[in-house]
Amino acid sequence: MEQTVYLETLGCQMNKLDAELIRQRLGQEGYRFTLDADQAGVIIFVTCSVRQRAEDKVLSKIGQLRRRHDQQKDLILAVAGCMAERLGPALFDLHPQVDVVCAPGRIHQLGELIARARHERRRQVALNDPAEQSALEDLDASRRQTDADHPFMAYLRVMRGCNKFCSYCVVPYVRGREVSRPPESIVAEAQRLADRGVKEITLLGQTVNSYCHRNGTTTVRLADLLARVHEIAGLERLRFVTSYPRDFDERLLAAMADLPKVCEYLHLPAQSGSDRILAAMNRRYTAGQYLDLIERARQRVPGIAVAGDFIVGFPGEREEDFEATCELMRRVRYKNCFIFKYSPRPGTRADGDLADDVPTETKRRRNQILLDLQEEISLADNQAFVGQTVEILVEGPSKNPHLDEGRTGPADPAYSRSLGRSGPADSGSIQLVGRTRGDHIVVLQARPDRIGRIVPVRVVRASALTLFAEPVR
Ligand code: SF4
């Protein structure tokens, strides 16, 4: 039991990637993994600090382990990730049962910290340290595993940290300043992933389009990196997230237009449609500049799908600011949006300088208005796909059969009818899920031999979240 680990991850793709690397490193050190926390001798939480809710969630989980920790003397409880850096040793005061606090920049040492906590019976804390950058790079470069649930798709980190200091955000404080990984190392990792059967790679960075690696007189930016990864045989699709509007240049749009493997998809958070609020957020662009970028992207890359992020109830947000956000949403017509109610994050400029003065009820109302507006847009735009043939990468069996309200099980005649077929579904067919190049989720009833392949499908029905399709023979 001592060598059995239960690992739970909260938050963004960066955290999921960190969790994958922790799993790999601990596996090499002789640990086994379990999905049952009760069977574990080591419990690790990879935490998120971006919103208060994410922190509250993990603090509550840690709280629930107190009694067990008192009873099971050799149980090691480790907190890794952004919350570990933000709270540091203060976590021991909040929850004395925590044994290890490990910041995102020290995850390569997590196994060592766990072993020390166990053998020395002393709490261990490791916070970010710029001197550890090369060890972190080695950890990234050592990556061998891919997500077992999605063996044909992989995220690949191209940079760490962020220099933007948006006034509401803790990321630059908990993940440190921007560091772009060497392009050779990224290309080698992409090659290894492709050799293991990965068809689609998403290059990952907090502000991925700010990627910039300098070596002597050579500067490699994201457009150059995309061109290099594009050369890898076997790889069929390339994406990159998340983009920062101000750093988006024409060369990157040209790369999207010219490199066939680069998908017509952009995740480009606007956060607000009001220039006054954007300035208070320190986003360093205006709504007009953002819209201009969207227009140029749509001209250069026809059919491009855009996903967005918004924060409602930022300090000082008046009705007219919120209306400007709604207007921006209507004009851009996002494929989907992540919408958050503002919550102050300790240590950020907004928390120090601005009063959280928008009432909770107003935040809730504005949040709901944006959700409804986005649903209306997504439904209308998805319905425009009905009758079209699109190309999808089939990821695997659908894990959410409820996605199609007309379907109750594999090869279900009701599902066949919902797809417009009169007879029963093919025997041996199951519900599969895949994604278009624009990242639309597609559900179809088909034989599992399509998994891992890029296939054409005809869209027969659409909801706001999902396209329902049938195979094209
Ligand atoms: S760009 Fe702004 S919101 Fe995004 S990670 Fe950096 S500071 Fe946070």
Q: Which residue has the tokens 């999921």?
A: 16
| Ligand 1 atom nearest residue 283's Cα | 2
* Residue 130 binned pLDDT confidence (cut-offs 50, 70, 90): confident
* Residue 425 binned pLDDT confidence (cut-offs 50, 70, 90): low
Cα(208) to ligand 1 centroid in Å equals 11
Looking at this protein, which amino acid is placed at residue 199?
Answer: K
Cα(16) to ligand 1 centroid in Å equals 18
* End-to-end Cα, the chain, rounded Å: 51
Ligand 1: residue whose CA is nearest its atom 8: 169
Question: Is the domain of 303 the same as that of 400?
Answer: no
What integer pLDDT is reported at residue 152 of this predicted model? Answer: 94
| Ligand 1 atom nearest residue 242's Cα | 4
What integer pLDDT is reported at residue 422 of this predicted model? Answer: 40
Spell out the residues 6+ positions from residue 352 whose beta carbon is closer than 8 angstroms to its own: none
Ligand 1: residue whose CA is nearest its atom 2: 166
Cα(167) to ligand 1 centroid in Å equals 9
pLDDT at 353 over 90: yes
* Residue 426 binned pLDDT confidence (cut-offs 50, 70, 90): low
Instruction: State which residues form the domain around 297.
Output: 133-383
Cα(341) to ligand 1 centroid in Å equals 16
Give the range with max mean pLDDT: 90-94, 132-136, 138-142: 90-94
Question: Is the domain of 355 the same as that of 309?
Answer: yes
What integer pLDDT is reported at residue 423 of this predicted model? Answer: 43
pTM of the model: 0.91
Cα(48) to ligand 1 centroid in Å equals 14
Cα(169) to ligand 1 centroid in Å equals 6
pLDDT at 291 over 60: yes
What integer pLDDT is reported at residue 406 of this predicted model? Answer: 44
Cα(247) to ligand 1 centroid in Å equals 12
Question: Is the domain of 353 the same as that of 401?
Answer: no
- 386-406 confidence digits (pLDDT tens): 999 999 999 999 886 654 444
Ligand 1: residue whose CA is nearest its atom 4: 206
Query: What average pLDDT score do residues 448-458 get?
Result: 95
Question: Is the domain of 91 the same as that of 232?
Answer: no
- 310-336 confidence digits (pLDDT tens): 999 999 999 999 999 999 999 999 999
Question: Is the domain of 164 the same as that of 116?
Answer: no
* Residue 213 binned pLDDT confidence (cut-offs 50, 70, 90): very high
Q: What is the CATH number of the domain that holds 295?
A: 3.80.30.20
From the list 430, 459, 429, the residue with the least C-alpha distance to 442 is 459
| Ligand 1 atom nearest residue 244's Cα | 1
Show which of 132, 165, 197 is a domain's final residue: 132
What integer pLDDT is reported at residue 73 of this predicted model? Answer: 86
Cα(166) to ligand 1 centroid in Å equals 5
In Å, what is the CA distance from 422 to each residue of 374, 416, 425?
A: 33, 7, 9
Show which of 70, 100, 132 is a domain's final residue: 132
From the list 364, 272, 270, the residue with the least C-alpha distance to 316 is 272
Question: Is the domain of 234 the same as that of 302?
Answer: yes
Question: Is the domain of 254 the same as that of 401?
Answer: no
Residues in contact with ligand 1 (CB, 6 Å cut-off)? 162, 164-166, 169, 171-172, 206-207, 244
| Element counts in the chain: helices (H) and strands (E) | 17, 21
Show which of 358, 383, 408 is a domain's final residue: 383
| Other CB atoms within 10 A of residue 217 CB | 5
Query: Exposure of 319 by Cβ count < 10 A (0-12 exposed, 13-18 middle, 19+ buried)?
Result: exposed
What is the count of structural domains for the chain? 3
Question: Is the domain of 156 the same as that of 111?
Answer: no
Query: What average pLDDT score do residues 94-123 get?
Result: 95
Q: Which pair of tokens denotes residue 299? A: 């001209």
Question: Is the domain of 11 the same as that of 116?
Answer: yes
pLDDT at 414 over 80: no
Cα(318) to ligand 1 centroid in Å equals 23
What integer pLDDT is reported at residue 145 of this predicted model? Answer: 66
Spell out the residues 6+ positions from residue 161 whose beta carbon is closer than 8 angstroms to its own: 171, 172, 175, 176, 177, 178, 179, 206
* CB neighbour burial string for 390-406, b if at least 16 within 10 angstroms, e if fewer: bbbbbbbebeebebbee
Question: Is the domain of 405 the same as that of 418?
Answer: yes
- Nearest-angstrom CA–CA distance, 86 and 177: 15
| Ligand 1 atom nearest residue 172's Cα | 7
Cα(202) to ligand 1 centroid in Å equals 19
Question: Is the domain of 122 the same as that of 137?
Answer: no
- 135-168 confidence digits (pLDDT tens): 988 988 888 766 667 789 999 999 999 999 999 9
Ligand 1: residue whose CA is nearest its atom 1: 164
Residue 210: alpha-carbon gap to chain centroid: 17
Query: What average pLDDT score do residues 25-50 get?
Result: 95
Spell out the residues 6+ positions from residue 55 whose beta carbon is closer than 8 angstroms to its own: 47, 48, 49, 83
CB 356 within 8 A of CB 342: yes
- Nearest-angstrom CA–CA distance, 56 and 64: 12
Cα(102) to ligand 1 centroid in Å equals 22
Q: What is the CATH number of the domain that holds 126?
A: 3.40.50.12160
* Residue of 164, 282, 309 best suited for mutating to test ligand 1, as the one with most atoms within 8 Å of CB: 164
Q: What angle do CA 403, 405, 406 make, to 5 degrees?
A: 125
| Ligand 1 atom nearest residue 175's Cα | 5
Strand partners, 218: 215
What integer pLDDT is reported at residue 136 of this predicted model? Answer: 87
Question: Is the domain of 75 the same as that of 119?
Answer: yes
* Residue 412 binned pLDDT confidence (cut-offs 50, 70, 90): very low
| Ligand 1 atom nearest residue 206's Cα | 5
| Ligand 1 atom nearest residue 165's Cα | 7
What integer pLDDT is reported at residue 146 of this predicted model? Answer: 67
* Residue of 159, 174, 204, 207 best suited for mutating to test ligand 1, as the one with most atoms within 8 Å of CB: 207
